[in-house]
Structure 1
Amino acid sequence: MEFFPQRGQKDLLIQSLHVTDRETETRLVKFLPGLRMICINMIVINRPVSHYLMTQFQDSHSETLISYSVFLISLVCPREWDLHEGRCFFLSTSELSWNKSREFCEAEGSSLAIVNTPAKLEFLQDRTGAEKYFIGLLYQHAEEGWYWIDNSMFNGNVVNQRLHFNCVTIGLTKTYDAASCDVNYRWICEKRAT
């Protein structure tokens, strides 16, 4: 299957990348075989093609482009995991306690998700639907505060705080919700893409 026939789609690609100077356009056309590999990989990892291509074509050589496309091939997640910003996320369909959820994630070479950026929260909230999911946030009594499982401090707001609600879920609402660690919920694992 040919991704870029000689005319037509080549022009569409160049136009979609907003290429305005002749030198960059010439380099794009010259390295179309490498671009095919990059575009295939962009589809696999759900990254915008234009960001990578424009970065690579400003001052690159064919060796750089080829080695970069090899790098992109390796940036993938296991089956049934979602890729976001170089991290893989697994959203369970069954329910376990917080400790059993953590054990599951560790057995998969991951941890419960550390949802410490608005972009990551939005990405996961878009996938949770009407379910609640445990994440890697716990109330530490000795420190009297909320901490991620990597021991970094949580700087946000946890709602629904009650006695013995020492774990946190996301989903269903757009907030971090305190929950009992012993009640079964779905969970989200996170690990670096390989």
Structure 2
Amino acid sequence: MEMEKIPLEKKRDGDGEGTSKLVMEVKAEEEAQPDHYAALQTPAEDIYAEASFGGVPPKAGKKTEGNPRLYRAGCLFLTMISLVLLLAVIVLSVKLQTGSKESPGTGEDGRCWNIFPKFQAQKLDEQQCGEGWLLFENTCYYLSTVRLNWSMSKNNCTAGKGDLAVISSQSVQTFLTGKANDFFWIGLKHDANQWRWVDNSALGDSYWEGSTPRQGCGLLRGAGSPQKNWISSSCTSKAYFICEKQA
């Protein structure tokens, strides 16, 4: 009986080894095959990179860069705009500087009067003399806008704390000629066979158009030559008048 059991045990042992080898081969095949379930549980990070770059993942260790041509074109465009703006500022500055030197109008006395300086001068005249008066060499002058005879013109100037204008210098003569545009009474009257000013001073330098007249009252004709633009007329005639007072 014992002789028959020995071969059975050996057979069983052989069957065990074969089974073990088969189990080990199955496990090796399972380990060699990819775990699709695990891949679905933990998707690769490259999926997002592939979606961002059209399915082509970027190379490892290389930073993503923009289009260098587009960058250079943008820089060039901004530079050109800056240059154009700078050129516009320069041109405007030059025009402003040259415009301040140019004269928009010329006065009747041959001098140029800029708009802004003229406005400033007018304000200064009004501050020192009053509205409508003109300041020249520390004396205020007023050119009337109504016509009166010589006596009434003198009374109006006196009421304004002044008198008819006394032309005592070439500069005053030139200034008033440039401001007048018609015939204006001045403070000159023929009395006792001589011409005298309203301040009772004798006539010195004169600017008669012709020979010295012998009667009447003196008139200054504007828009004429400042060297010869005085005429005489009857003191009862009506004309504009020029008043003066100290500033």
Alignment TM-score > 0.5, same fold? yes
Amino acid at match of 2:140: C
Match of 2:155 among 97, 103, 112: 103
Q: Secondary structure at the match of 1:104?
A: helix
Match of 1:145 among 194, 218, 224: 194
Counterpart residue number, 2:141: 89
Counterparts of 1:159 and 1:146 in 2: how far apart (Å)? 15
* 1:25-44, Cα deviation, whole Å (9 max, x unpaired): xxxxxxxxxxxxxxxx8784
Moved more, 106-115 or 174-183: 174-183
Counterpart residue number, 1:171: 221
Taking a change above 3 Å as real, the CA distance of residues 156 and 85 of structure 1, as seen in their structure-2 partners, is same
Taking a change above 3 Å as real, the CA distance of residues 118 and 162 of structure 1, as seen in their structure-2 partners, is closer
Gaps of 5+ in 2: 1-119
Amino acid at match of 2:179: R
Counterparts of 1:182 and 1:43 in 2: how far apart (Å)? 33
Return the offset for 1:156: 2.8
Return the offset for 1:45: 3.4
Task: Say whether the 8 Å CA contact 2:122–2:134 is kept in structure 1.
Answer: no
Counterparts of 2:127 and 2:173 in 1: how far apart (Å)? 21
Q: Secondary structure at the match of 1:115?
A: coil
RMSD of equivalent CA atoms: 2.6
Please state which structure has a larger fraction of its residues in strand: 1
Return the offset for 1:87: 0.7
* 1:46-92, Cα deviation, whole Å (9 max, x unpaired): 7xxxxxxxxxxxxxxxxxxxxxxxxxxx9711100000011111100
Gaps of 5+ in 1: 1-40, 47-73
Task: Say whether the 8 Å CA contact 1:159–1:178 is kept in structure 2.
Answer: no
> What is the number of equivalent residue pairs in this alignment?
124
Task: Say whether the 8 Å CA contact 2:183–2:220 is kept in structure 1.
Answer: yes
State which structure, 1 or 2, has the greater radius of gyration over its C-alpha atoms: 2
Counterparts of 1:162 and 1:95 in 2: how far apart (Å)? 23
Match of 1:80 among 132, 144, 152: 132
Any residues of structure 2 matched to 1:1-194 within 5 Å, and which?
44-45=123-124, 76-129=128-181, 131-141=182-192, 144-157=193-206, 158-159=208-209, 165-172=215-222, 173-174=224-225, 175-193=229-247
TM-score normalised to structure 2 length: 0.45
Taking a change above 3 Å as real, the CA distance of residues 44 and 97 of structure 1, as seen in their structure-2 partners, is same
Q: Secondary structure at the match of 2:200?
A: coil
Q: % of aligned pairs identical?
A: 27
Taking a change above 3 Å as real, the CA distance of residues 147 and 82 of structure 1, as seen in their structure-2 partners, is same
Taking a change above 3 Å as real, the CA distance of residues 179 and 44 of structure 1, as seen in their structure-2 partners, is same
Amino acid at match of 1:103: N
Taking a change above 3 Å as real, the CA distance of residues 151 and 42 of structure 1, as seen in their structure-2 partners, is same
